[in-house]
Structure 1
């Protein structure tokens, strides 16, 4: 039930939404196509400094460790609005193309084809799961969520709950001026299963090759990552939790570093040294009246001691990011969801400083 709400858990518009809408179905011989999407408004009041970005999602990079900052900021946009088309041949081959308007122009989110056990193209990374994820209105959601929480070009094979993929390496981030080279695809493996009717779980891992090559220095290192997540239906309340670990794969540790993806490795004495990190989330969801109440906390932490000892210049780097959300989402009529959310963001810096901010969001979504 929670997973089905994820598709609706990101907002809604109240203007002219008193009747249900339906996706557009097109039948053309052996192919059935479906046009779907939603229109969405996100409005935010930043109590402290302005940390909103496109879709009004909160950004750790917007936090500043300063005594005097302007407070009280309102903003709104409809850039999360989305449209997509899926088409399926009678023999089972399927294609999906979907995009939204984040950033102010049309942005490609999904473009893939699937047939039987194979998926090829751009879609959610195999190193990702909605098991262990707690619904939020904030589009960029919670630090330490299970996996990378993004879409990437890939070739994936799925058999039951087990899936493997070769994926485009996801934003390798090398420090100390190292020149990044993507030399191999990332390998991922994931298993989704259930321990009982009330417990769903996921475990996943990845391996990647980090490389730095400026034409003179050519070094490489292996990065690894792993996460596990669980949803536990306890009757009136559902528990969501996830734990992540990475070493040289911090781009895959959600919302580490300055905002997304901490430093994976750095050059020192001619060698590429990896950086490790960890994180996790814990949340609860329950039905209240005609809607759902969600509360979640997440945190990621980078291990920067070795990097600081070797380079001596990481004092201003984000050592940890954490955020928490409390939201209520309700469904006044078919195809409509509205929600309110309080969010809190905090970054701790390696030099001992920190910064935090509180914000309030209203979202409204009409889907078709």
Structure 2
């Protein structure tokens, strides 16, 4: 408005000068002054570069724009670090409840399918469990240089509900250094579950790693990593090498992920090669219907894919006797019914090779699993954006290599679970 008043004064002065010159009878000066007035009007009209303007009468029927500056204030970050990085806070408050008809004996209410007692062997039944340990808190860091960023995320699922690190890493360009999802055993292709650990056929492994990502084009990338898989059975000498090839579909409706890993399993006196391959897929059948599937074949490793038997067995001399080898698959479909309701149907299966040497060398063959399976269905309701409530039913079985003394070879997981989350 100040600019407008200033220009009006200038125009008025010009018109006054024009009248004075006319009274003096000097036509040359009149033409010069008229030219100056025209230049002033053009200057005023140039103010129309910005929007949100109001129309105001300048003289007679001529209109010019009075500019109202837009609010260009940038959204403020949660905080700023000493080094100048912007910090974004996120997370959730999560309450879990489970009614276990049959299942594992551990106090924690999440999936224990690989250790559920065999029938007649002190099953844990009719128990109500609750926890808030999966409550999560995270910080994202972003510097002025967009090639540099970082993340710290924690929850309370450590021993005795202690605080534990989920993710802690930084990115520099195409490099990542720190702890995050395994490059081999990723959760991207697991059907949605309420259970914080997922079900058979999936993996929720996070480990320390150095990772490099190379993009061939907008739809194809390869990711290579050196990972510390933290296998308690093995004395690690070299890290696991993993590679993942991601290929998006041309219509952007889905993605395929081909993965491979190789690592050394080592004792004080012996060592063997462990390896694995994986194939994951996600496809949007329609804008509201998503199909997910994930497959693994692994030999000698139990530290990456969840619920597997121990990767290898040893004798009294610490020599490796045999390697466990298994196939697993999980598949599920999620339907978004409307903006508030969605649901998932899922199934997972894992089968181990019937290796006689491996079975005989197990300390307790009844705790080794010939196969595992679980099926589940859930329903989520989000009345408003920050809140989410879910209900889930899962039924699964494990079949042991060797029968218990009472002849039973089957253990059962039969549970109802519920969750309430406030996301921030």
User: Which bracket does the TM-score occupy, shorter chain normalised?
Assistant: 0.7 to 0.9
1:248 shift after superposition: 1.1
Task: Specify which of 327, 332, 335 is matched with residue 286 of structure 1.
Answer: 335
1:73 shift after superposition: 1.1
- 8 Å CA contact 1:226, 1:245 repeated in 2: yes
The structure richer in helix per residue is: 2
Query: Which residue is 2:93 aligned to?
Result: 39
Query: Which residue is 1:263 aligned to?
Result: 311
Task: Specify which of 260, 271, 278 is matched with residue 220 of structure 1.
Answer: 271
- Identify unmatched segments of 5+ residues in structure 1: 1-21, 174-179
Between stretches 247-256 and 267-276, larger displacement belongs to: 267-276
- 8 Å CA contact 2:119, 2:410 repeated in 1: no
Structure-2 change in CA distance of 1:23 and 1:171 (3 Å): farther
TM-score scaled by length of structure 1: 0.83
Structure-2 change in CA distance of 1:33 and 1:348 (3 Å): same
The structure richer in strand per residue is: 1
1:271 shift after superposition: 5.1
Kindly tell me the number of residue pairs found equivalent between the two proteins. Answer: 330
Structure-2 change in CA distance of 1:83 and 1:206 (3 Å): same
Equivalents in 1 of 2:244, 2:151: separation in Å? 22
Aligned: 1:275 with 2:328 = no
- 8 Å CA contact 2:240, 2:263 repeated in 1: yes
Equivalents in 2 of 1:272, 1:282: separation in Å? 34
Structure-2 change in CA distance of 1:233 and 1:51 (3 Å): farther
Between stretches 85-94 and 62-71, larger displacement belongs to: 62-71
Query: Which residue is 2:31 aligned to?
Result: none
1:366 shift after superposition: 0.3
Query: Which residue is 1:12 aligned to?
Result: none
* Aligned alpha-carbon RMSD (Å): 2.4
Deviation >6 Å, runs of 4+: none
1:62 shift after superposition: 4.9
Task: Specify which of 394, 414, 423 is matched with residue 358 of structure 1.
Answer: 414
Higher relative contact order (CA 8 A, sep 6+): 1
- 8 Å CA contact 2:391, 2:419 repeated in 1: yes
Tell me the SS of whatever aligns to 1:307: helix
Which has more radius of gyration?
Answer: 2
Query: Which residue is 1:245 aligned to?
Result: 297
List aligned pairs for 1:84-103, cutoff 5 A.
84-92=138-146, 93-102=148-157, 103=160
Equivalents in 1 of 2:98, 2:76: separation in Å? 29
List aligned pairs for 1:129-278, cutoff 5 A.
129-145=186-202, 148-160=203-215, 161-173=221-233, 180-197=234-251, 198-213=253-268, 218-235=269-286, 236-257=288-309, 262-267=310-315, 270=319, 272-278=321-327
Equivalents in 1 of 2:293, 2:358: separation in Å? 31
- 8 Å CA contact 1:280, 1:300 repeated in 2: yes
- 8 Å CA contact 1:27, 1:33 repeated in 2: yes
Query: Which residue is 1:77 aligned to?
Result: 131
Tell me the SS of whatever aligns to 2:270: strand
- Identify unmatched segments of 5+ residues in structure 2: 1-74, 216-220, 404-408
